[in-house]
Structure 1
Amino acid sequence: MTTRRDCLKFSMAAALATLLPQGRLLAADDAPLLTRPIPSSGEQLPLIGLGSSATFSQVARGEDASALRDVLQALVAGGGSVFDTAPAYGASEEVAGALARELGITDRLFWATKVNVAGRGEDAKADPAKAREQIEASLKHLGKERLDLVQVHNLADVPTHLGVLRELKAQGRVRYVGVTSTSKPAYSRLIDTMRNEEIDFIGVDYAVDNRDVEETILPLAQERKIGVLVYLPFGRTRLWSRIGERSLPEWAAEFDAHSWAQFMLKYVAAHPAVTCITPATSKARNMTDNLGAARGRLPDAEQRARMAAYIDALPAAG
């Protein structure tokens, strides 16, 4: 049986990473990860990154962050670079910044964070000065003079926040700007923003059993040349609950998926609009397994349809 807990040889080849005395990272498998270009610039990003909500955030609140140090080490050792965080994720931003400095990998990461000082509610307004303060705090936490990407979290007061981000981009403090939403009721506002604002990225939820973004959002991102960061590719724990203890189908080997995590991530990665997927984890072995989804073949259209049908036929998570 192939489960998330198994470490098959395909994942282990990429997993073995050690921190050398000089802080240099060495991976056992030097096969490069598949990459995608940021549409607005052409800069290449590895298809799999790391998010810091959920379990990463929970561990960051504790006193022992050694597990997160191992996760960041595994990310970079395996060829990844994108780290997605937010001030709303508790201590994640600050802890990750400190650990990256300790490991000597700060400049090897693509730091993506968010801004939201508007509070709750669609009509809540943001104070531009407080937005700048929050971004300055992120710069301090991450030990950077310039952030790679800052997005307006949950479409909060987009005009105000995006105005601040554009000022900072013009000043060279932020390289890319965007907006995020993982709420289906807000998709119409996300679509309006994509159509009417000049942005480099969106962040959105997408999974093999959560495919609504395939209808309008992903095609529009391609049309408007907007990069896509994918959140919740496992539906938090929803997909794991649906899969249970089932064995991975033998036909998953046709597109080099050797674990359920790779199966789910490869479905998402195969969509050409996707720039990078950022599943959160607090375990280095899971980080390495996830990175395996950006190696080898990706499923074609027929295989993706089979993957979706397979998952759809499973009982819904209780």
Structure 2
Amino acid sequence: MAVTVERIKLGSQGLEVSKQGLGCMGMSSAYGVPKPEPEMISLIHHAINSGVTFLDTSDFYGPHTNEVLIGKALKGVVREKVQIATKFGVTFKDGKMEVCGDPAYVRASCEASLKRLDIDYIDIYYVHRIDTHVPIEVTMGELKKLVEEGKIKYVGLSEASASTIRRANAVHPITAVQNEWSLWTRDVEEEIVPICRELGIGIVPYSPLGRGFLSSGPKLLENFSENDFRKKLPRFQGENFETNKLVYERICEMGAKKGCTPSQLALAWVQHQGADVSPIPGTTKIDNFNENLGSLSVTLTPQEMAELNSLADMVKGNRSPFMGNTFYNSETPPLFAWKDE
């Protein structure tokens, strides 16, 4: 039975997206070798034809190759039918991750992304990570100019603290905040979700399936390639992993009772968080995409939500070995103290 994909308003500035999006990172990077381009283009076309029109990428994925892939997939697609989100601000230099929010870099990155995507405008342009050396007002000032020039329609932030979100929004309205949010990552609920709702900002959860663990469970680790960064995740190590396996087993039991898969249950939990939420599960297989889409038909009672919340509280280990690059450490200097060197 075909699933009808509801459209939701993301933020307060008029953007509408599909209730569920498609994270495209894994098609080109991060989880091992890039996937065959023709297969990924077919998957993207299948998603769009199914009603999932909210596509998420970044200049960091590849790097650059994921945007090129999206651009190729968009050939022949009515531009207004899709919402393209990409990001800037993260690079690797001499093996180290660097973050940049300098205005000239913002503009150059946007121009380069437009060329790779081969489009006239970007629907949501995210600050991928926050440059803690440049006031967020300075970065936002250039993004505001890009909006006024029509090169981007809406501005987003990823892994920004509540105070950074508030400061950024004072310069130009933020349409969406992208953060990790799932049954095994709930730290956004304390400050990030409340500030987004106070300011009318949409929420885009990435990794809503716990880096694939809430979909595949322990067997996920057996399929990791040598360069899959998930091998380093604390939640896949030692005692943390043993506890988290039990969480997955409980989710499987609940799913079986409801007649849905573990991934559908986990995605449904995220999608039940509010009408301002559009998660972006990633996949490289049409069958998995169809399974994810089926989560939109799963209805959870308040009791079931409470039971899932209690399972989430059992999860052990930090969500990333790079917690310094999350919203916990995204404060920028005050504008009055900054000098453009």
Contact 2:27 2:35 survives alignment (8 Å): no
- What is the deviation of 1:214? 1.6
Return closer, same or farther for 1:128/1:247 CA change in 2, 3 Å cut-off: closer
Aligned residues: 277
- What is the deviation of 1:32? 2.1
- What is the deviation of 1:272? 1.3
Match of 2:82 in 1: 109
Match of 2:150 in 1: 172
Query: Which residue of 184, 206, 211 maps to 1:209?
Result: 184
Query: Which residue of 166, 173, 180 maps to 1:195?
Result: 166
Return closer, same or farther for 1:43/1:63 CA change in 2, 3 Å cut-off: closer
User: Which amino acid in structure 1 is aligned with residue 42 of structure 2?
Assistant: D
Query: Which residue of 73, 79, 88 maps to 1:99?
Result: 73
Normalised to the residue count of structure 1, the TM-score between the two structures is 0.76
Q: Which runs of 5+ in 1 are unaligned?
A: 1-12, 14-28, 182-188
Secondary structure (helix, strand or coil) at the match of 2:184 reads coil
Secondary structure (helix, strand or coil) at the match of 1:150 reads strand
Deviations 1:166-224 (CA, angstroms, capped at 9, x unpaired): 1111112111102101xxxxxxx521122222211110000112112122211221111
User: Which amino acid in structure 2 is aligned with residue 224 of structure 1?
Assistant: L
Return closer, same or farther for 1:252/1:201 CA change in 2, 3 Å cut-off: farther
Contact 1:179 1:202 survives alignment (8 Å): yes
- Aligned equivalents of 2:250, 2:38: Cα separation in 1: 29
Q: Which runs of 5+ in 2 are unaligned?
A: 219-244, 319-341
Return closer, same or farther for 1:284/1:308 CA change in 2, 3 Å cut-off: same
Match of 2:6 in 1: 34
Query: Which residue of 264, 272, 275 maps to 2:274?
Result: 272
Return closer, same or farther for 1:293/1:124 CA change in 2, 3 Å cut-off: closer
- What is the deviation of 1:146? 1.0
Normalised to the residue count of structure 2, the TM-score between the two structures is 0.72
Contact 1:56 1:280 survives alignment (8 Å): no
Secondary structure (helix, strand or coil) at the match of 1:89 reads coil
Q: CA RMSD in A?
A: 3.1
Secondary structure (helix, strand or coil) at the match of 2:8 reads strand
Deviations 1:129-183 (CA, angstroms, capped at 9, x unpaired): 23212111111122211110001011234333322211111112111102101xx
The question of 1:249 aligning with 2:227 is answered no
Contact 1:83 1:109 survives alignment (8 Å): yes
- Aligned equivalents of 1:206, 1:63: Cα separation in 2: 26
Match of 1:226 in 2: 201
